[in-house]
Structure 1
Amino acid sequence: MTRKLFLATVLMLGITLVSCNTKPNDTSKSNDSTNTTVEQNNDSKSSSEAKDNKTNEDAKANKVKLSIYNIDENSLEPNESGTIELDAKLSIEDKLKALSKAVSEKKFDKLPIEIKSIDTVNGKKVATINLTDSSSSKWVPKFQGSTGGSVTSNTLIENFLQSNNKSKGEWIDGVKFLYNNQPIEYEHASDLSTVQYRN
């Protein structure tokens, strides 16, 4: 009887040991499947990131940068102070409108600058730009003084012609300015009274 009890106990211990040994193997199998899932997730993330990068590159390829220029008061030379990015598919007129808004906000205290027309003159595209003013005549002080008038003239001319910008895409060849729909006749802003062409 004691012998039977002893054999039964040994048998039970053997079964317990065998079942303990098989459980870790099952766990490693589930770990393998978890690792596979993680790897698949990482692969799909990499693929998704690559697609996002391609989309960003395509978006950049379809953009043009227009420069915003400051004019040095001593040399009267233009220096790029910023850029705006626009859809390359926009018409020249829409690009000019976006540029006029940026130049107005950043250089001329939000004074209105409107694009009147783009005409072909002697085979060249010339934009007519109107500097509008209410009865308060806020543009007038910007045309006065030898330095002030020159800085205003050069700021407007350089920003609209984009002469130093190589990445602007198709653009105008010349620009003509009006003040309240009339020719600009201020001594120190005389460059604004004639059509200015890109170099």
Structure 2
Amino acid sequence: MTRKLIIATVLMLSTVMVSCSTKPSDSPKPSDNNTTTVEQNKDDNGSSNADSKKANETTSDTKKVNKLKLSIYSIDDNSLEPNQSGTIEVNENSTLQDKLKELAKAVSEKKFDNLPIEVKSIDTVNGKKVATINLTDSNNKKWVPKFQGSTGGSVTANTLIENFLQSNNKSKGEWIDGVKFLYNNETIEYEHASDLSTVKYAN
């Protein structure tokens, strides 16, 4: 009798164990979870990258700098008339004084062998904006030959006046009305460059 009970118990336990091992799992496979997470991350990254690109494009648009062209003039030795020989670009939003400084640098390099040309000030005289430009050479007289000779002195004077007044440049924007030149902070008193001794106004 005891033997029969033991056999019956073993059979019942075996049946229960087989039933438990074959029961399907309700929980999702790990691989399914991983796939979902990867797809979600992909979507998040894609959206994030698109937003970042759009932000960068907006930033680059706001940083865009508007430029305007200033003319560089040469003077004909015979007619003493100005001819545009080049241009430079300056930031349209720079101050008038900064634009003049960039022009002074270019004129010095292209027309006067890098002799210093200093923008001292812009003053209002009788309602007009007049720039004072100082030609400097620390008293070593490197500017002096530029003021001499009937043709040489006139070419120097006209080159400086035309370049700073930009009279023929219709796209210069806000600009000075007149210009006054000094040599080492003093009035320029050379016969052949006499036009540099007084204030010159745009036509």
Q: TM-score, normalised by structure 1?
A: 0.70
* Deviation by residue 1:21-75 (Cα, 9 ceiling, x = unmatched): xxxxxxxxxxxxxxxxxxxxxxxxxxx9xx7xx95xx64xx21110000000000
1:129 aligns with one of 121, 133, 136 = 133
Q: Does 1:76 align with 2:69?
A: no
Q: Secondary structure at the match of 2:167?
A: coil
User: Match of 2:86, as an amino acid?
Assistant: G
Q: Distance in 2 between matches of 1:134 and 1:178?
A: 13
User: Match of 1:185, as an amino acid?
Assistant: E
- Aligned residue for 1:180? 184
More helix by share: 1
Q: Distance in 2 between matches of 1:122 and 1:63?
A: 30
User: Match of 1:117, as an amino acid?
Assistant: S
- Aligned residue for 1:85? 89
Q: Does 1:109 align with 2:110?
A: no
- Aligned residue for 1:30? none
* Deviation by residue 1:57-110 (Cα, 9 ceiling, x = unmatched): x64xx2111000000000000000110101100000000000000000000000
Percent identical pairs in the alignment equals 79
- Aligned residue for 1:38? none
- Aligned residue for 1:195? 199
- Aligned residue for 1:119? 123
Q: TM-score, normalised by structure 2?
A: 0.69
User: Match of 2:93, as an amino acid?
Assistant: K
1:144 aligns with one of 136, 148, 160 = 148
Q: Secondary structure at the match of 1:138?
A: coil
The alignment of Structure 1 onto Structure 2 pairs a total of residues equal to 147
User: Match of 2:195, as an amino acid?
Assistant: D
In the TM superposition, residue 133 of structure 1 has moved relative to its aligned partner by: 1.1
Runs of 4+ residues deviating >3 angstroms: none
Unaligned segments of structure 2, at least 5 residues: 1-53
2:67 aligns with one of 57, 63, 72 = 63
Unaligned segments of structure 1, at least 5 residues: 1-47
- Is the contact made by 2:80 and 2:158 (CA closer than 8 Å) also made in structure 1? yes
Q: Superposition RMSD on alpha carbons, in Å?
A: 1.9
Q: Distance in 2 between matches of 1:116 and 1:87?
A: 20
Larger Rg: 2
In the TM superposition, residue 135 of structure 1 has moved relative to its aligned partner by: 3.3
User: Match of 2:160, as an amino acid?
Assistant: L
